[in-house]
Structure 1
Amino acid sequence: MNKKKQLLETPLVSVIVPIYNVEEYLSKCLDSLIQQIYKNIEIVLVDDGSQDDSISICKQYAARDLRIQLITQENAGVTSARMNGFLHAHGDWIMFVDADDYVSTHIINLMVQAQQTYQVDMVSCQYYDVIDGQEVPSLIRPNPGYYNQEKIRELLASNFLYDKHTEWAGVTGYLWTRLFKRCFVQAALEAGKGLVHSEDQIGMFKVLYSINSMYVMQAPLYYYVVRQGQATRSYNAVYWKNFELFFKRLQEIDQKGYLKKQIPNRAMMILKSLIKMEFTNDKLSVFQRYRSVKKNFSNDLCLLGKDADISAMGRKTRLQYYLVMHRAFFVYGAFIYLNRLLKQLVK
């Protein structure tokens, strides 16, 4: 590996920003981009049918900085907006930044430097969770360093989707915090089409399945803003079908079977989360929640989860697994209710 200490080239980097109703956060995001130390960038803003003042803010910035191009579309979701931006981008290297987040002014310069040093297809950095203005370093996943194709395959097979000791995925499943070689981006975005949740994780799996090398940086350079109400996702019945499609796509991509041992545990974790969402949906009565679980419960996800490895699970998690597999929804709902009650009493 030929390591270079200086930037020998300054390739064009396209930064794609999907935008939807983020007027409160947008200026900070755009300021962090136009102030980049690395200057050879284009900033592709894609307004996804915003109904607030976001598009006016975009126009103001586009008038001030010729590196900004603004694209508008009817509301079609983040994957569509990213694809639209990608098709209008000219750079050989692609980054995605969410419009309610912001980045270090050094992020592109340091990522390009890492790419040129290690000659890789993708560079990743770490990030901060920004919670009520406080910047909290995220859990580093995977370990920083250089990964050739063999090490990437080992990573996929070990815990890309699920780590039985932590229940975390071994790789952060986000398209932001990455610098991608252009040729890998379109397939990643297409893999996420039709999904309303976890589309980034599908995209990342497609990328890691395809690239020859990557470099993971130690430095946190991206700031993920946790908006009020964002940490607790509200229930949506669409999620059941979403995750059936999610696992179908994973299996279609995973022709070499890297995820075969991880999918059952991940499916069980998703099932538990969906049932919990149903039983904590305060818009419904307790009986309506029970009926909703029975109606929406996915037999496909249950079949995927039946081979979950429960050896490293605690007693509480093993009990949940048993209740889900035996469709003991009423008991599971009571279990969730008692947990909520205990947490409220502790407060």
Structure 2
Amino acid sequence: MMRVESTISGTVSVILPCYNVAPYLDQCLESLVRQTWESLEIICINDGSTDGTSAVLHSWAARDRRIRVVDRENGGQASARNVGMDMASGEYIAFADPDDYVEHSMYGRLMEEICTHDADVVACGYTSFSDENGSVLEELSRSPGFGVEKEARSSFFHADSVWMKMDVVTCNKLYKKEFLNKCGVRFEPSFRRGEDDVFWLMVLPYAGCLVVVPDRLYWYRRKRQGTVSHAWEEQGCPYSLDMARLEYVTACWEQIGWLDTAVSRGWLAHIMKRYLLSHVTSGEEIFQKLDKQESQALVQRCRKWLHGMETGADPVGLNKWDRAFCRLLRTEPVKANPVAEIYNRLMSACSGRRGRYYRLKSLMSSLS
């Protein structure tokens, strides 16, 4: 087995939440136990599996003393990861999904960077591959440019931000445990899916130094039937989940006194575009797909959130159409007079955002 030649040291605690993944565990655990960085503990949380997952895990634990297994009732991936974080004894924490696998050099490479730069978090690229035939899915893979951000919490958002290059997924990262304990962030158990985004956005307001490397060191299995990621690839993320993530993250930012900073540095505009405006201003036009009752409920939810975000100025980073849609959603629907109704219908035939804006305006009038 190769060894990482370096004076750096520290134990990496790899947390593996497992639910009915027996067919994939051998490949995953083989890739972990053969790491060039040998100072590992592998914490496997069997989250109430009903297949042979527990037996496979205990078989591996009998062969390698670095593997620890916890059997518990099903509580979801977020909760399982939290259990692993609380158990971790290493100075650094990593997460892996049990149907994926990693390059043997992954944690050695990440340890090199996190120690060299004294970073809070370091991330790498990843390769997505199909569960159906093992083919590489380049369009879903990631090879980010190298980057170091010395003080992430004080940076302005831009598309080439280091923290954007790092992506929101959890498993391509190595975290300094001291940093995670200091900020006190854990995965939110109420999110039974899509919890990675929330965790990352909760970590960022506390982050000092961040590092990203282009190496594709993580192998991410896609198109596995029955998984959340496969459903999203086919149908897209549910707007209700995106709205829930937006509400949760901004409430937490406000609680820790970060919201005003997020407004002025463009962070809030970024998540608004991702979790709200992408459903409203894009070709998806979510309101056109909902029935009247669903539309009314979503309008009320958007209005409540937008009123809560009124800080005296629009978030930095929103363009004129973003602001126009926000003003429309923030306003109580009013029945249009006949002339205005005809005008809105005519303008609805326009292409792009202009047409979408007037189609939404007409719909809002019908909800009054």
| Same fold, judged at TM 0.5 (above) | yes
| Deviations 1:266-287, CA, capped at 9 Å, x for gaps | 32224579x878988xxxxxxx
**Structure 1 counterpart of 2:169:** 174
Fraction of identical pairs, as percent: 24
Tell me if the contact between 2:165 and 2:212 (Cα under 8 Å) persists in the aligned partners: no
Alignment of 1:1-347 (within 5 A): 7-131=6-130, 132=132, 133-137=134-138, 138-141=141-144, 143-149=145-151, 153-154=154-155, 157-159=157-159, 171-186=166-181, 187=183, 189-190=185-186, 192-226=188-222, 227-228=224-225, 229-230=230-231, 231-232=233-234, 239=241, 241=244, 243-252=246-255, 254-255=258-259, 256-257=261-262, 258=265, 259-266=267-274, 267-270=276-279, 290=291, 293-294=294-295, 296-301=297-302, 304=306, 309=319, 315-317=351-353, 319-320=355-356, 322-324=358-360, 327=363
Closer, same or farther in 2 for the Cα pair 1:105/1:153, shift >3 Å? same
TM-aligned CA deviation for residue 46 of structure 1? 0.6
Q: Show structure 1 runs of 5+ residues with no match.
A: 162-168, 281-288, 331-347
Cα distance change of structure 1 residues 54 and 294 upon mapping to structure 2, 3 Å threshold = same
* Contact preservation (8 Å) 1:122, 1:178: yes
State how many pairs are aligned: 308
Deviations 1:203-239 (A, max 9, x none): 2223222122122111010111112344225887963
When the two structures are superposed, what TM-score results if normalisation uses the length of structure 1? 0.75
Question: Higher Cα Rg: structure 1 or 2?
Answer: 2
Q: Is the 8 A contact 1:130 1:136 kept in 2?
A: yes
Residue 135 (structure 1) shift:
2.2
Is the partner of 1:59 in helix, strand or coil? helix
SS at match of 1:265: helix
Structure 2 CA distance for partners of 1:183 and 1:278, relative to 1, 3 Å: farther
Q: Deviations over 1:155-189 (max 9, x none)?
A: x522499xxxxxxx665112211111002335564
C-alpha displacement of 1:38: 1.1
Task: Check conservation: 1:44, 1:89, Cα contact below 8 A.
Answer: yes
Looking at both structures, which has the greater relative contact order when contacts are Cα pairs under 8 Å and sequence separation is at least 6?
1
What SS does structure 2 have at the residue aligned with 1:146? strand
| Cα deviations by residue, 1:136-161 (Å, 9 ceiling, x for unpaired) | 342445x4222200x5632x522499
User: What 5-or-longer segments of structure 2 have no aligned partner?
Assistant: 323-349
Shift of 1:301: 2.8
> Counterparts of 1:296 and 1:241 in 2: how far apart (Å)?
13
The answer to whether the Cα contact below 8 Å between 2:12 and 2:94 also exists between their aligned partners in 1 is yes
C-alpha change, 1:232 and 1:246, in structure 2 (3 Å) is farther
Alignment check: 8 A CA contact 1:237 1:296 kept = no
Do the aligned partners of 2:15 and 2:43 also contact (CA within 8 Å) in 1?
yes
